[in-house]
Homo-oligomer: A and B are copies of this chain.
Amino acid sequence: MIVKTIKSYKRIEAIDITNTISKEAENIGNGIMLIYVPHTTAAITINEAYDPSVMDDLMEKVSSLVPYSKNYRHLEGNSDAHIKSSLIGNSVQLIVENGNLILGRWQGIFFLEFDGPRDRKIFIKVLR
């Protein structure tokens, strides 16, 4: 298992981690990478990396569907972040061939911070 650290700077932030994952893929040859987020107030998704406004739209829409509020049962004030995490999901799987990460033309990989700023981690597990 490979562990990578990620630093977020805002409460809600989409961080493009495509380059980090792509570099790890070089050593893999052929297989699948599981990218696993060990946190409960963050998520990971694959979406357009070319125009950053796509991620702005995603984060705004998710925040309007699940708004920040003190009116949840969980008393830490971050229930919205937990809910967003389960709606998006905490892992993605990626195909690697000949050391190349296989992504669609417009795809990038994004760590989604919903309760930052924080020091975060991702776990990478490779299967061949």
Cα(A123)–Cα(B97), bound, Å: 12
Least CB separation from A90: chain B residue: B46
Q: Which of B32, B36, B66 lies in contact with A61, CB distance below 8 A?
A: B66
Q: Out of B58, B92, B128, name the residue touching A91 (CB < 8 Å).
A: B92
CA distance A28 to B73 in the complex (A): 37
Q: Is A17 close to B, CB under 8 A?
A: no
Known: A46-B90, A53-B73; 17 extra A-B contacts, CB below 8 A, are A1-B95, A1-B97, A38-B102, A39-B104, A39-B106, A40-B106, A45-B86, A47-B82, A53-B74, A53-B75, A54-B79, A57-B73, A57-B79, A58-B79, A87-B88, A93-B93, A102-B123
A-B residue pairs in contact (CB < 8 Å), sample of 15: A31-B127, A34-B93, A36-B95, A38-B103, A38-B105, A40-B47, A51-B74, A57-B74, A57-B83, A58-B79, A58-B82, A61-B83, A87-B87, A95-B125, A127-B128
